[in-house]
Amino acid sequence: MGAPRGSLHHLELWVADLDTARASWGWLLVALGYAVDRSWDRGTSWRLDAAYIVVESGPDVLEAAHERRRPGVNHVALHGGSRADVDALVTACGEHGWSLLFADRHPYAGGPRHYAAYLEDAEGFEVELVADDA
């Protein structure tokens, strides 16, 4: 039997700086339980069960900065584990190319009953790590 209908199959991110993205996304995805599935000169994919996430760069990537507040995808939300797991990721994120967004409202930037961390990488991609017990 395949994955549940409507579940994430894959996410592909095109980046300007592949080495930086491999380091930051690689750290985060491995910390969340993903493992490298494939790696090639222009990208890497990490897999968790049936879903995978690709970070890729190449000649088709336009010379422009990513801006999460422009029309398009704003962020990706991932299950972050327990509140303690999310807190540990926040504590370590700065050492791996991520910064905490909305620090003045963390961990309830999404509302008083939504425990999550909002992280941004060097290229401006945002990830929301949602605590399972949120």
CATH tag, 10-59+74-131:
3.10.180.10
Q: What is the pLDDT of residues 4-40, one digit of tens each?
A: 888 899 999 999 999 999 999 999 999 999 999 999 9
**pTM for this model (two decimals):** 0.93
- Reply yes or no on whether the pLDDT at 1 is more than 70: no
User: What pLDDT does residue 134 have?
Assistant: 56
Closest Cα partner for 134 from 64, 100, 87, 65?
A: 87
The domain ranges of the chain are 10-59+74-131
